[in-house]
Structure 1
């Protein structure tokens, strides 16, 4: 399947990046050939310069597929377990659904790193989940057996923030997840992410000082570095406005005003989802907000549509299996399952006008979240029986 996708899209983005890397190794400037990746991501892709394009594209696609299925195991696995289903068939079915979506196909076929970055962020989501479980467990089972260092890290989710930090060094838009961690007062994860990003950026400055200075000085300030605003592939708010105004640029003040509003809505709803225990919905809302407010968001940056579809399907199944549950927030009367089907159809085909962007913005404002199950409590210790009528015992 991945070979078919590579043939369809021709790994054109990876081809351009590979040529820039080859020229860089020959002594030219890295960003003289249109590359928009940060230095840390460029260093990660350096081995591609020594491989044929087909081999490099195939290896990157395999890494992306592995990251995708690991992420789907973390996202769809708990849903399967909740309904008493085997995890593997559900994950495989979700993977088949993912390959139908244009964001996944474009990421694999064009040769982007976004699936790997998506997997890194989801790894932190798993870490936060395990960390919350470890804290809950400690309230009713304080004594824990001694584990090895690696097992302790896995059991307690102590690595939370490292994945987001690595992803943020390779894609500046991922910094929004660090802001979310700070907003929800998950300070340890936020500091870990910030420290990881700072360490990787500093390392890139040491390895490639000239390229790093060029990235921060000239490439990063260019908000249209990833393509023109009015391109049909740009499915951000800025792209919608540029096409509505029939202009090659976007109206800056109008864009900034609505972008700040959308960002506030996304972060507020993400914090509410976190408060009610649905960290997956919270991360999805942050991802959608980042794609909506970015100057340029191509299909590969809309990967958070996939967990949004899974959330809608889960919300529909919850309604069916428990009709007494209060109506899910928003989307009341519309039907989460119908919404999931509509979103799947929209993102299963190449972008048509502003429809994908508007769909993502609607999801940002209407995506439901699932209240978590009540936390388990430590059983109360049995107290000695006290007679109902105290008195002297018979001898």
Structure 2
């Protein structure tokens, strides 16, 4: 089915990636001219990665990309189930995961989200096992900046060597892109990467606090400079929660909380960016919060935000009865963070931080962190 869809449907975001691979070395045109009617908003490193794919015909390149995306998602599901410490049918997990709107929407658009999820989860699994990590997170951050929040998580959890590895990897990837496309790199890092005017901030798919507030206030012009305090506060609170769970040896919760926090910190968190629902649901199911997991699955499978007025409809803006529905991903994410915060009170005392003498001194965390967990199967 993936092959047939990829061959027949011209996924817009993938087309932009593919065209970006064509123009990445053409001066600064990558960021100064629209591609397929839209701006290229990803990093120069992302564009350089598409240089080889740009040599293929669009259809062949798209089929290859989508099949590789599927492989990345299967890998992400496999790593997630391993981090739960419980037996699960990988086929069932993948099948259920593909029904989640952020996942299938990533395929629909030909997006990069599933690769980022797989790269970060692979590294966080190594961290949970006490092994050296950081390369996957560094590559993910070089492709799209939001995964860089995991570097901060590594720092606050005293995984300093892993954080340095991630930073070095990020720098190497960015310098490689600069060597290949210096003009595009200068334009991006000096002007483009903090410019949110190139995308429709108020579009219903933007489920970040910034997007929600812009819709309520009828535009970004009404959001003052005071808003900068919001992502800073959220990042501090979210990373604190994640660090406390990591200190208790539960790196799956730490990973899910950090992923959701990153979505809140970013000014643009499209619906298809919310693939972090996969580890979040795994946490809830592992810990036998089945009703909460079912409610979350229904929200992200049915995606009722798309049922509300959007695409410029005046009813999309302001506060009204449909506002909670229109921002249901944001509300679900907030609930998850609060839920994980409340659960900290019911856990035992945190263990001391592992010795900073070396990564290999870390011990493997227990597969379970709550006494109520029982062996069983996990279905996402």
**TM-score over 0.5 (shorter chain):** yes
2:162 to 183, 189, 197: 189
- What is residue 299 of structure 2 aligned with on the other side? 346
Query: Which residue in 2 is equivalent to 1:365?
Result: 338
**What does residue range 1-395 of structure 1 map to in structure 2 within 5 Å?**
1-3=1-3, 6=6, 10-24=10-24, 29-31=29-31, 32-33=33-34, 34-79=39-84, 82=86, 85=87, 87=88, 90-131=89-130, 157-158=131-132, 160-225=133-198, 227-249=199-221, 251-316=223-288, 336-350=289-303, 352=305, 353-367=326-340, 373=366
Question: Once the 2 structures are TM-superposed, how far is the Cα of residue 13 of structure 1 from its aligned partner?
Answer: 0.7
Give the structure 1 partner of residue 353 of structure 2: none
CA distance in 1, matches of 2:367, 2:256: 22
The CA distance in 1 between the partners of 2:329 and 2:9, in whole Å, is 19
CA distance in 2, matches of 1:304, 1:9: 26
Contact 1:228–1:248, Cα closer than 8 Å, also in 2: no
* CA distance in structure 2 between the aligned counterparts of 1:248 and 1:19, rounded to whole angstroms: 29
Is the CA contact 2:44–2:177 (under 8 Å) kept in the aligned structure 1? Answer: yes
Instruction: Quote the offset at 1:249 in angstroms.
Output: 4.5
Structure 1 portions without partners, runs of 5+? 132-156, 317-335, 376-395
In 1, distance between residues paired with 2:69 and 2:224?
A: 35
Please give the alpha-carbon distance, in whole angstroms, between the structure 2 residues aligned to 1:45 and 1:29.
Answer: 16
Worse overlay, 228-237 or 292-301: 292-301
The number of residues matched between the two structures is 323
Quick check: 209-218 or 239-248, which moved more?
239-248
Give the CA deviation at 1:53.
2.4
TM-aligned CA deviation for residue 254 of structure 1: 5.0
Query: 1:150 aligns to what?
Result: none
Cα deviations by residue, 1:201-237 (Å, 9 ceiling, x for unpaired): 1111111111110111221120344x22110110100
Question: Do the aligned partners of residues 98 and 252 (structure 1) sit closer, same or farther apart at CA in structure 2, a change above 3 Å counting?
Answer: farther
Give me the CA root mean square deviation.
Answer: 2.4
Native 8 Å contact 1:77 1:91 kept in 2: no
1:136 aligns to what?
none
Please say if residues 224 and 295 of structure 1, whose CA atoms lie closer than 8 Å, have aligned partners that are also in contact: no
Q: Secondary structure at the match of 1:306?
A: helix
Change in Cα spacing, 1:342 to 1:21, as seen in structure 2 (3 Å) is same
Provide the secondary structure at the position in 1 that maps to 2:275. Answer: coil
Is the contact between residue 164 and residue 177 of structure 1 (CA under 8 Å) also seen in structure 2? yes
Note if contact 2:214-2:220 (Cα within 8 Å) is conserved in structure 1: yes
Is the contact between residue 273 and residue 282 of structure 1 (CA under 8 Å) also seen in structure 2? Answer: yes
Asked if the contact 2:72–2:115 (Cα under 8 Å) also holds between the matched residues in 1, the reply is: yes
- Secondary structure at 1:185's aligned position in 2? coil
Report the secondary structure of 2:158's partner residue: coil
1:149 aligned residue: none
Q: Identify unmatched segments of 5+ residues in structure 2.
A: 306-325, 349-364, 369-380
Tell me how far apart the structure 1 counterparts of residues 229 and 8 of structure 2 sit (CA, whole Å): 38
TM-score by length of 1: 0.76
Deviation at 1:6, TM superposition (A): 4.5
**Mean CA deviation greater in 191-200 or 256-265:** 256-265
Query: Are the counterparts in 1 of residues 14 and 109 from structure 2 also a CA contact under 8 Å?
Result: yes
Displacement after TM superposition at 1:19 (Å)? 2.8
TM-score normalised per structure 2: 0.79
Give the C-alpha shift of residue 126 in structure 1.
2.0
